[in-house]
Amino acid sequence: MTTGLPPELDALKQTVRQIVQDECLPLEAEYLARPPQEGLDDGGPRGIAEAVQGIVGTLTPEKWGRLTQISKDTGIYTSFVPQEYGGGGMGALGHVVLDEEVHKSIVQLPTSPVPLMMVGACTPEQEKKYLYPSIEGKLNYAFGQTEPQAGSDPGGMMQARAVRDGDDWVLNGTKMFISGAATADFLLVQAVTDSQKRQHGGITMFIVDNPSPGLSFEPIRIWITPGRAMQWFVHMDNLRVPRTQVLGEVGRGFTLGQKWLVHHDRLLRGAMALGILSRALEMAIDWSKQRVTYGRPIADRQAIQWMLTDVYIDIMTLRSITRETAARADQGEDVRVEASLIKYCAGEWGWRSIDKIMQVFGGLGETLDMPIAHWYHLLRHARIGGGTSEIHKFVMARALLDGKVSFQG
């Protein structure tokens, strides 16, 4: 258990917290009052309209631009990017600390959309064309792993194929539930190149430009963002990709994808839940002192006190696990099992805690003019997206039975 943060990370935390308080929270009412509009096009580069709309609301490009500039001017924007790529080099621990503070507002302070799986895997040409522009926020990417029959077991069930043809690879197959795919400037797509080896050296990662001949999209509407599609089918029909667009080594694409998932979809899932729950608990405490029933504030009711306490326990425990695991990742340890633990706890504990928060607020918690209901959707989704809770329990059980994880302290 980490008892404190290094001085530079504590300073980062305090800076981000103050900016979120001063700049993001005052915009929440406007943001939630303007739901996203299907097909919005502001005339800017691909991906800009997506960013302007946010997750469940909309702000003007000017206001998003102001937030982005503040983030860049303070060094927050690239604080977690490795120093050799011009960032602050604060690593996984710095990223989870930053992400927790960012998620305290439904209006999220912009940070670099850098595809961290590309760090150390790119050729110099790929760095110039894709990685550096992504770090600067000029390009947006999507990660294509999940398929209709290959969600929780992508290595064993992946059907997308890539076949070498001269200087090109030809890709065929369909990906599913790919976030932001249609508006991405490029996709990082996994495909099987050796059906015998599969995840053990037979899956390759390709950089696919959008648009490309043979690449098409089909929207998937889900309850988190009912106003518009943010999840997509990605269809590849004889999609030709030059061999120079292979990311890393042929056959090593599954390992690159796992690197991304451990950090982005597991460690940061813990940070997301922590940011949401800590802000929601703060709101619930304030509300319980104001809300009066039968002549007394509901804060005096033991039923309410116990719900608030349960959320507090979940926050403190999840924060300890998440920061400890991130610190170990920064030391070069293999934390895949612990990352599954964080993903499981973020989903299961996050959902049960936000459910208690909603109960404290009663009918007010269900209104779409407050962030509570939107957070409920995100945390309920966390039990499924990025691997179901049951799959992550399977990962932990397998590690325990194989003696690959220690629990003795």
3-state DSSP of 42-108? CCCCCCHHHHHHCCCCCCCHHHHHHHHHHHHHCCCCCCCCCHHHCCCCCHHHHHHHHHHHHCCCCCC
Residues with Cβ within 8 Å of residue 60, at least 6 apart in sequence: 52
Question: Residue 2: what are its φ and ψ, rounded to 5°?
Answer: -80, 130
Averaged pLDDT, groups of 10, the chain, 409 residues long? 79 97 97 73 40 74 95 97 96 97 97 95 98 96 94 87 97 96 97 96 98 97 80 97 98 95 95 98 98 97 98 98 97 96 98 98 95 95 94 96 90
> What's the N-to-C CA distance of the chain in angstroms?
10
Q: What is the pLDDT of residue 51?
A: 45
Residues with Cβ within 8 Å of residue 13, at least 6 apart in sequence: 5, 97, 98, 101
Q: What is the pLDDT of residue 53?
A: 58
Structure tokens at 408: 């003795």
Structure tokens at 69: 């500039």
In 215-255, at which residue ranges do the beta strands (DSSP E only) sit?
215-220, 231-242, 246-247
Q: What is the pLDDT of residue 54?
A: 67
**Bridge partner list, 169:** 164, 241
Query: b/e string for 191-219 if b means 16 or more Cβ within 10 A?
Result: bbbeeeebbebbbbbbbbebebebbbbee
3-class DSSP state of 264: helix
Query: Which DSSP symbol is given to 267?
Result: I
Q: What is the pLDDT of residue 137?
A: 95
Please count the other Cβ atoms lying within 10 Å of the Cβ belonging to residue 306. Answer: 11
Domains of the chain, earliest start first: 7-114 (1.10.540.10), 141-247 (2.40.110.10), 255-401 (1.20.140.10)
